[in-house]
C-alpha cells in the first residue's frame, strides 16, 4: 500500500489549513492528517479554527502575564499554524502548555479558545484528576512530539473533564481509551524508524517497511478522526456554518474500527520487537485504568454534592433540564441588557474586580476564621457586613472570597463599587442579574414580564431590578446564592440609602426563610454605614464583622505581605540575607501597618538607593514615611514638574468619569494662550504615559489606558474640606473641589472654543487629527457641569469664552451641542432654537445668567423648539439660584406653557425640587396647577 501523496496548502480568507509538505515533516501523524483532510475538509477546517482561537487565547494569556507586553487580538496574531513542521509544533506546544496550565483544579472559570467556560459541577476533589492529567500530557508530549496535532486538541478539553457530567460522557464513548493509548501509537514510529546500526534485537522489515508505515498512517487517520470529532463535539455550538451531521457519530463503531486496525497492525509488527510492544501496552493500560478511576471518583463526588443540597431526585432532574435549556431570542436580549459597560467594552464588572490585587498566600485568614462568618455561612439567607479601616485590604478580601473563599455549592455573583465611576445601585443590580442568569439561565423567567413591559428602560428602574433579584432568590429551584458587594462607602449617598432600604425590606422578620440569597458587603467603619445594619441585628445578631477591631490579627497578615515584598526587593537589589532580616525587623516595628502602606512603601524602597548595611537600613528608616499620608507627600514632592502634576491631579479629581490617556494628553496640554487645535503640542501616547508616571509616581494608576488615582485615600489626601481649610504649603488637603472643577472647566471651554471655525478639514483624519480630537466627547458632555461646580467669580477671564461657546451663532456651539444632544435628555426634549439664556439656565450657570439678564434686548420669555423658556429649564433642573434670578427679572411671565401644556411650576412639581418649590413670594401670581 503506497504512502499518501504530498498535498499543496489549501487556504480560505480566515484560516490557513494545517498541511505538511514532504520537505517540512516526515512524521506519520502529519501524513495521516493530510489523508484525513482529503477525506473531510470541513472537519479539519473546524478543528483548525478551534486551534487558532486557542492559540490566540494562549498568546493573550502570555502577553497579560508580561506587564511590558501589549495584549494581542485575533488580528494581530498570525492566522496560520505554520506549515513548517518546526514552527507548527512550537505553536501546537504553546496550545498544549496553555491547556496544562488550566489544569490546576482551582478555577471555576476558564477561557478556552476565546470562550468562557463555567464548570459549575467542579469540586475540590477534582484537583487529583487535574494534576494527573497535567502530568500525563506533559510526559506524553515529551515522548511523542510528532503527535502534537492530536495532543493539542486533547489538552483543550481535558480541563472540562473536571466536570463530572463531562467525565461520564468521556468514559462512555471511548475518548479515554483513545487518549491514553496515543503515546503507545506514537512510539510505533520510533520502533520502525530506528537506524540500522541500532540494537541487534531490532529487526528491520526491509521490503515491508513502506506497507507497514502506510498501515500506521491509516490507524493514525482513524485516531485523529475520532479525537477531532470528540474535541469538536464540546464546541459544536460555535460551528454553525458547518453541516450539522459533522458532530453526529457512531462512537461505538468508530472505536471498534480503531481497535480492529490496531489488532491487525500489532500482528504484523509482533515479529519486530515483542518485548517493546508488551511494555507499551502495559503502560497504556495503566494510564487508562488511572484515568477511569479518577473520572469515576469525580462522578461519585458529584452525587455526594447533589445529596448535600437536600433536594429530591425529581427536583434535581427538573432543575438540570431547565438549566440546560438555551435562551430564546427575547431572553438573550434581556440577558445582555444587564451587561452594562461604562464607555468601553472592557469596563465590565469583571474588569473592575480584576483591577484589585490578588491576596498574598496566608492572608485573609482572619476573616475566614471569624465566628460571625462561619455562622453566616450556615444561614439559609441574610446579610453580613465586613468593615475595616482604609487600606486594610477590603477589596483584596472581597476578590479572594469571590475567587476562592466562598463555597462553590452556591452561585456567587459580585460587584465592586468605584467612586465616580462604578458607583450606582443600578449598575450593581444589573451586574448581579447578568451573572445570576449566566449561571442559572432558567431564572431569567423572573425578568421577562418586566422586560416585556419596560424594554431597555428596565435597567434604569432600581425598584424593578431589586424585585427581579428577590424573586430569583425565592425560586425553589435556584439553590443557594451569594451576592458580594465591595466598598459600600464608594456608592453614591442616595443609592446607598436605597440599597439599605431594600435590604431591610428583604430581610425583615416576616420574610425570613423565603429567600436563599445571602449578601456579603464590605465598607469603611463609618457610622452612617454601621448604624444602618444595627436595625438588622434582631433577626441577624452576627450581621457585622468589625475588622477595625482586628488590627492585631490583620497586622500579622500584613507581615506576610512585607515578607513577600522583601523577597522581591532582595532579588532586585541583591541584598544579603542578614540585611534582609534586619530590614524586615525594622518594617514590622512600625505601628498601624496596612496593606496600602506596604504597597506604597515598597515602591518608595525600590526607588531609593540606601546603603546595604544594618546602619544603612536604620539611617534610611529614619527618613521613612510612617503612614500613608507621609508616603503620598513624598511621592508628589519628588516631581520636577509640580504645575503639570497639580493640573493633572485636579483634572482627575473633577472628572465625572476616568479619562483615557488620549483625553488626558489633550487636557494637560490645553491652556488659554492657544487659539486652535494646531497649537496643541502633544506627545505620543507612550511618551505622555511615561511622563505622567514619572511625574506623579505611584499616586496615579493607569489601567487599560484609563487614568485613576491609586486609591480612594489618595483623593481624600488631596482634597480640602473647604477653601478655608486648604493647605497650599504641601500637597495634603491642598486642592478644593471647586478649584479642581475650575481647572477642568477651563480646559474644556478653551478646547471647545478651538472649534469656532468651519474651515477644519474633516477628510484628513490621520493619527494626529484623531489624538487632538480625543477630548471632544468628554468636553461636550461635561463642560457645563464642571463650570457650574467651579463657582467662578463674575469677573473671571473664562466668562467671555463661556458666552461665546453658549451662543448658537458660533461654530463651536454647533460642534459640541450635537454631541451633547445625543448623550443627554436633550435627545428627547429638543435643542432647536435654544438661546444662550436658556442654555445657561439649563446648566445652572448663575454668573452667566446674571450677565445675560443685564444685556440690553434679551428676551427672558423666549421659547425654544419645544416651547420651553429659560424658567422652564432652570425649574426642571432644580437650579434654585437661577430660578430666583429669572423670577426677579423684568417682564418675566411665569405662567407660560410649553408644547406639552406644562408650566415652569409644573416642572418643579414633576421633578420634586422642593428647594425651588419654596422660593417664597417669587412664585406669587402663578396660576395653580391641579394637585399642587
Contact 3, 31 (CB under 8 A): yes
The per-residue pLDDT for 713 is 85
Question: What ranges make up the beta strands (E) of 751-846?
Answer: none
Q: Which residues of 673-683 are buried (b: 16+ CB within 10 A; e: fewer)?
A: ebeebeebebe
Is the pLDDT assigned to residue 905 strictly greater than 70? yes
pLDDT band at 480 (very low <50, low <70, confident <90, very high): very high
Specify the range with the lowest mean pLDDT, choosing from 226-240, 453-467, 496-510, 902-916. Answer: 902-916
**What is the spatial distance between Cα 172 and Cα 829, in angstroms, rounded to a whole number?**
64
The per-residue pLDDT for 669 is 93
The per-residue pLDDT for 899 is 80
CATH of domain 825-932: 1.25.40.20
Q: Running DSSP on this structure, what letter comes out for residue 21? A: -
Percentage, residues of the chain above pLDDT 90 = 20
pLDDT band at 123 (very low <50, low <70, confident <90, very high): very low
> 572-602: per-residue pLDDT in tens?
777 888 888 888 888 888 777 788 888 888 8
> 519-547: per-residue pLDDT in tens?
999 998 888 888 888 888 777 888 888 88
Q: In which element (H, E) is residue 829 found?
A: helix 826-829
The residues with which 386 forms a beta bridge, in sequence order, are: 522, 545
Percentage, residues of the chain above pLDDT 70 = 68
Cell 457645563 found at: 784
- Give the residue extent of every domain in the chain: 28-299, 329-549, 553-626, 628-807, 825-932
Cell of 339: 451587561
Query: Quick one: average pLDDT of 288-305?
Result: 48
Is the pLDDT assigned to residue 861 strictly greater than 70? yes
The per-residue pLDDT for 719 is 92
Mean pLDDT of the chain: 75
pLDDT band at 61 (very low <50, low <70, confident <90, very high): low
Specify the range with the lowest mean pLDDT, choosing from 37-51, 169-183, 421-435, 667-681. Answer: 169-183
Q: In which element (H, E) is residue 741 found?
A: helix 737-753
Is the pLDDT assigned to residue 247 strictly greater than 60? no
User: SS3 for 422?
Assistant: strand
Specify the range with the lowest mean pLDDT, choosing from 122-131, 511-520, 539-548, 817-826. Answer: 122-131
Q: State pTM to two decimals.
A: 0.54
Cell 480640602 found at: 720
The per-residue pLDDT for 634 is 82
Contact 162, 126 (CB under 8 A): yes
The per-residue pLDDT for 878 is 85
Contact 459, 465 (CB under 8 A): yes
Query: Quick one: average pLDDT of 763-769?
Result: 69
The per-residue pLDDT for 473 is 92
The per-residue pLDDT for 596 is 82
Contact 875, 913 (CB under 8 A): yes
Q: Does domain 329-549 have CATH number 3.40.50.300?
A: yes
**What is the spatial distance between Cα 161 and Cα 170, in angstroms, rounded to a whole number?**
8
The per-residue pLDDT for 783 is 94
Specify the range with the lowest mean pLDDT, choosing from 228-242, 428-442, 493-507. Answer: 228-242
Cell 520502525 found at: 192
Cell of 763: 477628510
More confident residue, 327 or 296: 327
The per-residue pLDDT for 725 is 54
pLDDT band at 562 (very low <50, low <70, confident <90, very high): confident
Contact 425, 483 (CB under 8 A): no
Same fold, 329-549 and 825-932: no
Cell of 801: 469664552
Is the pLDDT assigned to residue 508 strictly greater than 60? yes
More confident residue, 138 or 36: 36
Query: Quick one: average pLDDT of 885-913?
Result: 79
Bridging pattern class, strands 700-703 and 706-709: antiparallel
> 392-427: per-residue pLDDT in tens?
889 999 999 999 889 888 999 999 998 877 889 999
The per-residue pLDDT for 284 is 57
Is the pLDDT assigned to residue 782 strictly greater than 90? yes
Is the pLDDT assigned to residue 467 strictly greater than 90? yes
Query: Quick one: average pLDDT of 8-16?
Result: 32
Cα–Cα nearest to 226, from 162, 120, 133, 150 = 150
The per-residue pLDDT for 82 is 46
> 721-752: per-residue pLDDT in tens?
776 555 566 888 899 999 999 999 999 999 99
Contact 503, 466 (CB under 8 A): no
Measured CA distances, 455 to 333, 424, 447, 459 (Å): 10, 20, 11, 9
Query: Quick one: average pLDDT of 621-627?
Result: 77
Other Cβ atoms less than 10 A from the Cβ of 157: the count is 23
**What is the spatial distance between Cα 897 and Cα 867, in angstroms, rounded to a whole number?**
7
Residue 112 sits at the vertex; the CA angle it makes with 107 and 113, to the nearest 5 degrees, is: 160
The per-residue pLDDT for 25 is 45
Query: Quick one: average pLDDT of 236-258?
Result: 64
**What is the spatial distance between Cα 25 and Cα 312, in angstroms, rounded to a whole number?**
58
Phi and psi angles of residue 644, each rounded to the nearest 5 degrees, phi first: -65, -40
Which residues make Cβ contacts (< 8 Å) with residue 605, sequence separation at least 6?
Answer: 569
Measured CA distances, 309 to 306, 313, 356, 380, 495 (Å): 5, 11, 32, 12, 35
Cell 494608576 found at: 701
Amino acid at each position: 500500500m503506497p504512502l499518501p501523496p504530498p498535498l499543496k496548502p489549501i487556504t480560505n480568507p480566515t484560516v490557513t489549513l494545517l498541511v505538511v509538505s514532504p520537505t517540512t515533516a516526515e512524521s506519520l501523524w502529519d501524513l495521516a492528517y493530510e489523508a484525513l483532510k482529503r477525506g473531510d475538509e470541513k472537519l479539519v477546517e473546524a478543528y483548525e479554527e478551534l486551534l487558532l482561537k486557542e492559540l490566540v487565547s494562549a498568546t493573550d494569556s502570555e502577553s497579560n502575564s508580561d506587564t511590558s507586553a501589549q495584549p494581542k487580538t485575533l488580528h494581530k496574531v498570525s492566522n496560520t499554524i505554520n506549515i513548517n513542521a518546526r514552527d507548527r509544533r512550537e505553536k501546537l506546544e504553546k496550545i498544549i502548555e496553555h491547556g496544562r496550565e488550566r489544569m490546576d483544579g482551582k478555577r471555576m472559570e476558564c477561557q478556552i479558545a476565546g470562550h468562557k467556560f463555567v464548570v459549575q459541577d467542579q469540586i475540590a476533589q477534582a484537583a487529583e484528576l487535574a494534576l494527573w492529567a497535567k502530568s500525563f500530557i506533559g510526559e506524553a508530549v515529551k515522548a511523542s512530539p510528532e503527535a502534537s496535532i492530536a495532543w493539542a486538541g486533547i489538552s483543550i478539553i481535558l480541563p472540562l473533564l473536571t466536570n463530572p457530567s463531562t467525565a461520564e460522557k468521556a468514559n462512555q464513548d471511548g475518548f479515554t481509551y483513545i487518549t491514553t493509548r496515543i503515546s503507545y501509537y506514537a512510539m510505533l514510529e520510533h520502533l520502525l524508524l530506528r537506524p540500522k546500526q541500532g540494537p541487534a534485537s531490532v529487526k528491520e522489515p526491509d521490503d515491508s517497511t513502506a506497507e507497514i508505515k502506510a498501515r500506521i498512517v491509516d490507524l493514525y487517520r482513524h485516531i485523529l478522526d475520532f479525537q477531532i470529532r470528540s474535541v469538536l463535539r464540546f464546541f459544536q455550538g460555535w460551528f454553525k456554518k458547518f453541516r450539522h451531521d459533522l458532530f453526529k457519530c457512531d462512537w461505538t463503531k468508530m472505536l471498534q474500527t480503531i481497535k480492529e486496525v490496531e489488532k491487525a497492525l500489532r500482528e504484523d509488527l509482533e515479529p519486530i520487537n515483542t518485548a517493546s510492544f508488551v511494555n507499551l501496552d502495559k503502560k497504556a493500560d495503566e494510564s487508562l485504568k488511572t484515568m477511569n478511576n479518577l473520572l469515576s471518583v469525580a462522578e461519585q463526588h458529584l452525587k455526594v454534592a447533589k445529596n448535600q443540597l437536600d433536594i429530591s431526585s425529581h427536583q434535581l432532574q427538573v432543575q438540570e433540564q431547565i438549566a440546560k435549556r438555551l435562551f430564546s431570542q427575547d431572553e438573550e436580549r434581556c440577558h445582555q441588557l444587564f451587561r452594562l459597560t461604562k464607555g468601553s467594552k472592557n469596563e465590565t464588572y469583571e474588569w473592575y474586580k480584576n483591577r484589585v490585587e490578588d491576596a498574598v498566600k496566608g492572608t485573609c485568614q482572619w476573616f475566614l476564621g471569624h465566628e460571625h462568618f462561619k455562622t453566616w455561612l450556615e444561614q439559609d439567607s441574610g446579610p453580613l457586613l465586613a468593615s475595616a479601616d482604609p487600606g486594610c485590604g477590603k477589596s483584596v478580601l472581597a476578590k479572594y472570597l469571590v475567587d476562592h473563599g466562598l463555597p462553590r455549592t452556591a452561585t456567587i455573583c459580585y460587584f465592586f463599587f468605584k467612586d465616580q465611576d462604578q458607583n450606582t445601585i443600578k449598575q450593581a443590580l444589573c451586574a448581579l442579574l447578568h451573572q445570576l442568569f449566566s449561571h442559572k439561565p432558567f431564572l431569567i423567567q423572573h425578568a421577562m414580564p418586566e422586560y416585556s413591559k419596560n424594554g431597555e428602560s428596565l435597567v434604569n428602574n432600581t425598584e424593578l431590578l431589586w424585585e427581579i433579584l428577590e424573586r430569583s432568590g425565592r425560586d425553589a429551584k435556584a439553590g443557594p446564592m451569594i451576592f458580594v458587594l465591595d466598598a459600600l462607602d464608594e456608592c453614591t449617598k442616595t443609592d446607598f440609602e436605597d440599597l439599605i432600604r431594600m435590604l431591610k425590606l428583604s430581610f425583615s422578620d416576616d420574610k425570613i426563610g423565603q429567600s436563599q440569597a445571602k449578601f456579603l458587603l464590605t465598607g469603611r467603619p463609618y457610622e452612617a454605614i454601621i448604624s444602618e445594619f444595627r436595625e438588622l441585628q434582631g433577626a441577624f445578631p452576627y450581621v457585622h464583622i468589625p475588622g477595625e477591631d482586628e488590627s492585631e490579627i490583620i497586622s500579622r497578615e500584613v507581615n506576610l505581605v512585607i515578607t513577600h515584598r522583601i523577597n522581591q526587593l532582595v532579588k532586585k537589589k541583591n541584598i544579603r540575607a542578614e540585611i534582609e532580616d534586619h530590614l524586615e525587623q525594622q518594617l514590622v516595628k512600625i505601628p498601624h501597618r496596612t496593606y496600602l502602606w506596604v504597597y506604597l512603601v515598597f515602591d518608595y524602597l525600590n526607588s531609593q538607593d540606601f546603603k546595604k548595611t544594618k546602619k544603612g537600613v536604620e539611617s534610611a528608616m529614619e527618613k521613612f514615611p510612617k503612614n500613608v499620608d507621609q508616603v503620598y507627600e513624598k511621592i508628589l514632592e519628588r516631581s520636577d514638574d509640580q504645575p503639570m502634576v497639580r493640573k493633572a491631579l485636579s483634572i482627575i479629581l473633577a472628572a465625572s468619569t476616568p479619562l483615557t490617556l488620549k483625553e488626558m494628553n489633550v487636557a494637560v496640554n490645553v491652556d488659554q494662550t492657544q487659539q486652535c487645535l494646531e497649537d496643541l503640542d502633544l506627545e505620543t501616547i507612550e511618551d505622555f504615559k511615561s511622563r505622567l508616571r514619572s511625574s506623579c509616581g505611584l499616586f496615579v494608576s493607569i489601567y487599560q489606558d484609563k487614568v485613576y488615582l491609586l486609591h480612594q485615600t489618595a483623593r481624600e489626601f488631596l482634597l480640602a474640606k473647604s477653601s478655608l481649610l486648604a493647605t497650599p504649603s504641601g500637597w495634603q488637603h491642598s486642592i478644593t473641589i471647586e478649584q479642581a472643577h475650575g481647572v477642568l472647566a477651563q480646559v474644556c471651554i478653551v478646547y471647545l472654543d478651538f472649534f469656532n471655525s468651519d474651515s477644519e478639514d474633516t477628510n484628513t483624519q490621520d493619527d494626529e487629527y484623531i489624538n487632538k480630537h480625543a477630548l471632544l466627547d468628554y468636553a461636550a458632555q461635561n463642560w457645563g457641569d464642571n463650570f457650574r461646580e467651579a463657582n467662578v467669580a463674575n469677573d473671571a477671564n473664562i466668562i467671555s469664552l463661556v458666552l461665546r461657546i453658549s451662543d448658537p451663532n458660533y461654530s463651536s456651539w454647533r460642534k459640541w451641542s450635537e454631541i451633547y444632544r445625543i448623550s443627554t435628555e436633550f435627545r428627547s426634549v429638543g435643542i432647536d432654537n435654544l438661546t444662550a439664556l436658556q442654555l445657561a439656565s439649563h446648566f445652572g450657570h448663575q454668573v452667566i445668567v446674571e450677565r445675560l439678564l443685564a444685556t440690553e434686548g434679551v428676551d427672558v420669555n423666549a421659547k425654544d423648539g419645544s416651547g420651553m423658556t429659560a424658567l422652564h429649564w432652570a425649574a426642571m433642573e432644580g437650579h434654585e439660584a437661577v430660578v430666583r434670578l429669572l423670577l426677579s427679572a423684568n417682564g418675566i411671565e411665569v405662567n407660560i406653557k410649553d408644547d406639552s401644556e406644562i408650566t415652569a411650576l409644573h416642572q418643579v412639581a414633576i421633578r420634586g425640587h422642593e428647594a425651588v418649590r419654596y422660593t417664597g413670594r417669587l412664585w406669587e401670581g402663578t396660576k395653580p396647577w391641579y394637585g399642587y
